[in-house]
């Protein structure tokens, strides 16, 4: 089993800084021996150049911060899973910011996961409690509901194509 470090760059860094950071990370000594894998999630405009920088690295991969569930069509400003670089292996889904600011609903998250898995890439489902609630039963119920609705009706889900990333509300 590997440990994953998922680095979501959000809407930060200039082109030059994104490339410099990717070069710096990829130049680190390979002392991890595969036990720790790093996935970089740069902004979409930098996904191709960052993927090129880390292309040959054995323990660093790239991921997209989001996709639209349709593979093509009249969806101005959206990004299809088929538009991602070949070596982009991961896609974040259900990030709290996307849920809160971009109406990323449970049915939409489900559609995205189905599309990602169908494409052969790996979905990283972000889950976290909706509010600061110290009742463990409420927390547990929220997590079960979010995971259940995210994967409902999707066949072929396994640990090879779906990861869970816990994102505590207090950390945002």
User: Is 89 in the active site?
Assistant: no
Closest CA to 5 of 20, 27, 25, 29: 25
* DSSP 8-state class, residue 157: -
Active-site residue among 30, 78, 95, 129? Answer: 95
Active site residue 95: yes
Q: Exactly one of 70, 97, 106, 167 is catalytic; name it.
A: 167
Nearest to 62 by CA among 95, 19, 29, 12: 19
DSSP track, 18-80 = HHHHHHHHHTS---STTSEEEEEE--GGGHHHHHHHTTT-SSEEEEES--BSSSSSS-TT--B
Active centre residues (catalytic): 95, 167
């Amino acid at each position: 089993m590997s440990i994953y470090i998922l680095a979501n760059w959000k809407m930060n860094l200039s082109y030059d800084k994104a490339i410099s950071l990717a070069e710096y990370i990829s130049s680190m000594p390979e002392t991890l021996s595969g036990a720790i894998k790093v996935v970089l999630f740069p902004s979409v405009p930098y996904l191709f150049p960052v993927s090129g920088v880390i292309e040959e690295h054995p323990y660093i991969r790239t991921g997209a911060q989001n996709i639209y569930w349709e593979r093509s069509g009249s969806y101005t400003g959206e990004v299809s899973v088929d538009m991602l670089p070949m070596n982009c292996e991961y896609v974040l889904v259900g990030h709290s910011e996307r849920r809160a600011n971009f109406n990323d609903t449970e049915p939409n998250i489900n559609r995205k996961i189905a599309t990602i898995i169908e494409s052969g890439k790996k979905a990283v489902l972000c889950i976290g409690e909706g509010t600061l609630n110290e009742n463990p039963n409420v927390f547990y119920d929220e997590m079960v509901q979010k995971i259940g609705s995210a994967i409902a009706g999707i066949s072929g889900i396994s640990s090879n194509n779906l990861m869970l990333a816990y994102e505590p509300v207090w950390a945002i």
